[in-house]
Structure 1
Amino acid sequence: MRTQGGCDCGRDRFGAAPARPGAAHHRRAMLEPMPEGDTVWQAAKRLHRALAGRELIRSDLRVPAHATADLTGRAVLEVVPRGKHLLTRLEGGLTLHSHLGMEGSWKIYTPGERWRGGPGHQIRAILGTAGPTAVGYRLPVLELLRSSDERRAVGHLGPDLLGPDWDPDVALANLLSDPSRALGEALLDQRNLAGVGNVYKSELCFLLRATPWLAVGALPQEAAESLPVLAKRLLEANREQPARSTTGRRAPRLFVYGRAPRPCLRCGTAVRVADQGDGSRERPTYWCPGCQTGPTPRYRDSTYAGRNAGAPAPRAPAAAPSSPLTSPSAEPSRE
């Protein structure tokens, strides 16, 4: 039987002591449907507090490459977020690397609690202790590797918006390295900066008053320089919040994402949605054609037409909200 040695029992990276045997853990990990850097940070925090310092008495990795792996008897040392990746470090120099993709999640359950994260066939990982049990659902990436080889899994990532390696100058240089690339695609490329997903992509473009199809190199210098700073500000403001907000308000929480065909909060024009991808994946992208400048998709795009067809005529808002999360230059105002 392995001991729980090797665990740093001081304050952790999330500002709390690791879990101790006998401590109550009644909160389950509740992730938003669209995992991004902030929600992955939250998942790491919850997993760390539930598992760190505890010995595994059950392990089940339901992927072919690691179906026979047995992690029982090993203590969980820590759970670390890296962009949109999760690194669960174990005693004995092993790391369980997972990625939530678009629909994955880790849930934490107390003994006897019913598992409600989805049907059994969607479970990809089970890490059980004498107390809490962590269950990974719909994980598109799950691999066991030596901790010394973690760079193989996350070494390609750019500066982490919520990590200790954050460097806005490097992030900006990465984004501008391909000036002809569409802004939305550049933001989703985790090699440029790690942590932005589909929601923040649309929201950042809105705050910069640029469509997601505008070439990165066409951004005004001031807007380009503010982009990494604004992205970090938004993710930091949301990493401790139960529900993501870019407006700084309870409702509406987001400026454009998920709002088509409702009116823009800044100018009243109907928000639109289309797919934007790099050829290998397509994601819904929201923007306001009234106050965001740059190229837009053609109307014959089937997704674009389908999601906006038959929409009622929008009404301009009586007053546009301001956001304490954004700088005055990016703040929405009625035009």
Structure 2
Amino acid sequence: MPEGDTVWLTASRLHKGLSGRQLTVSDFRVPAMATVDLRGRTVTEVLARGKHVLARIDDDLTLHSHLRMDGSWYLSRTGGRPPRRHPDHLIRALLGNAEWLATGYRVHDLRLLARADEARVVGHLGPDLLGPDWDADQAAANLRRDPAAAIGEALLDQRNLAGIGNMYKCEVLFMERVHPWTRVDDVPGLAELVATCHRVLRANRDHPEQSTTGFTERGRQHWVYERSGQPCLRCRTPVRRADQGAPPRARGTYWCPTCQPEPARRAGGDDQPASRR
């Protein structure tokens, strides 16, 4: 699933290409929007809200989309072919003007709604880590609402704070030396952990490369994520992996058993999956 910084960069690029310009291309390839035609309207702004993309259009309308696990928007010059990163039959939306064409591949939850109704699709989200409403104290308070939850699962709950995905979950917990199955109320520095979430997303939001280590070379960008069985970059202990969460929302979780020691009591009792390389 795209992380919040990827969605923020997507919205930023769409904003630069579409905002302030009149639409000359409007093509939606999902049944619910087959008759929608936005040609002649002007895009006023495009912004990210957590992992949602909101394209605001004149007449107080908003086009909503969600990238989920596999969605993406690409921007290309009008008149040229859209990027051939995916086959054409996966295109769900085309929006364009005299200069730029935005192509939405496998974007989900496409809907046109009144701007006053945006809360219907994003009102449940917690403070946005990359948004103007970011509130670290509120995010920490939201996490504490379920003190017995595993911190790894709590960070992925967008109702607590919006924008964290599985990769940043694993990396932030390593950076803060917190085991993923630690109960929220046993995390010894929740405010610092929330601050680290904010810092790493802001550090990566302006470019497609995602690094938590400070290095951009392949294989050195991440401390533990997708490094199962490899030596920890801090202590050389083999990194472990286990699924966390109930199916179908279980996520492969990575941690160092030395840098992130197992807590005295694990969230959910003793029925957590056994760690493995």
Q: TM-score, normalising length from structure 2?
A: 0.92
Q: Unmatched 5+ residue regions in structure 2?
A: none
Q: 2:5 aligns with which of 28, 38, 44?
A: 38
Cα shift at 1:236:
0.8
For the 8 Å contact 1:107–1:117, the answer to whether it is kept is: no
- Kindly indicate whether residue 114 of structure 2 is the aligned counterpart of residue 139 of structure 1: no
Aligned position for 2:136 = 168
Aligned position for 1:245 = 211
CA distance in structure 2 between the aligned counterparts of 1:88 and 1:164, rounded to whole angstroms: 17
Cα shift at 1:140:
2.5
Q: SS in structure 2 opposite 1:235?
A: helix
Cα shift at 1:241:
2.7
Cα shift at 1:278:
3.7
CA distance in structure 2 between the aligned counterparts of 1:278 and 1:68, rounded to whole angstroms: 39
Aligned position for 1:298 = 273
- Higher-Rg member (1/2): 1
- C-alpha RMSD of the superposition: 1.6
Q: Which range moved further: 151-160 or 54-63?
A: 54-63
Q: SS in structure 2 opposite 1:237?
A: helix
Q: SS in structure 2 opposite 1:256?
A: coil
Q: What is the identity, as a one-letter code, of the residue corresponding to 1:60?
A: D
For the 8 Å contact 1:185–1:278, the answer to whether it is kept is: no
For the 8 Å contact 2:242–2:273, the answer to whether it is kept is: no
For the 8 Å contact 2:173–2:193, the answer to whether it is kept is: no
Runs of 4+ in 1 over 3 A off after TM superposition: 295-299
What are the superposed Cα offsets for residues 36-61 of structure 1, whole Å, 9 maximum, x if unpaired? 11111111110000001111112112
Higher relative contact order, structure no. (Cα contacts within 8 Å, ≥ 6 residues apart): 2
Identity of aligned residues (%): 56
Q: TM-score, normalising length from structure 1?
A: 0.76
Q: Map residues 128-207 of structure 1 onto 2, 5 A cutoff.
A: 128-207=96-175
CA distance in structure 1 between the aligned counterparts of 2:150 and 2:187, rounded to whole angstroms: 10
- Kindly indicate whether residue 44 of structure 2 is the aligned counterpart of residue 77 of structure 1: yes
Cα shift at 1:143:
1.4
Q: SS in structure 1 opposite 2:64?
A: strand
For the 8 Å contact 1:96–1:145, the answer to whether it is kept is: yes
For the 8 Å contact 1:117–1:137, the answer to whether it is kept is: no
Aligned position for 1:211 = 179
Q: Unmatched 5+ residue regions in structure 1?
A: 1-33, 309-335
Q: Map residues 76-155 of structure 1 onto 2, 5 A cutoff.
A: 76-115=43-82, 116-155=84-123
CA distance in structure 2 between the aligned counterparts of 1:230 and 1:125, rounded to whole angstroms: 35
CA distance in structure 1 between the aligned counterparts of 2:149 and 2:180, rounded to whole angstroms: 10
For the 8 Å contact 2:238–2:256, the answer to whether it is kept is: yes
Tell me the number of residue pairs that the alignment of Structure 1 and Structure 2 aligns.
267
Q: SS in structure 2 opposite 1:145?
A: strand
For the 8 Å contact 1:56–1:128, the answer to whether it is kept is: yes
Q: Which range moved further: 53-62 or 41-50?
A: 53-62
Q: 1:63 aligns with which of 30, 36, 48?
A: 30
Cα shift at 1:138:
1.4
CA distance in structure 2 between the aligned counterparts of 1:124 and 1:293, rounded to whole angstroms: 45
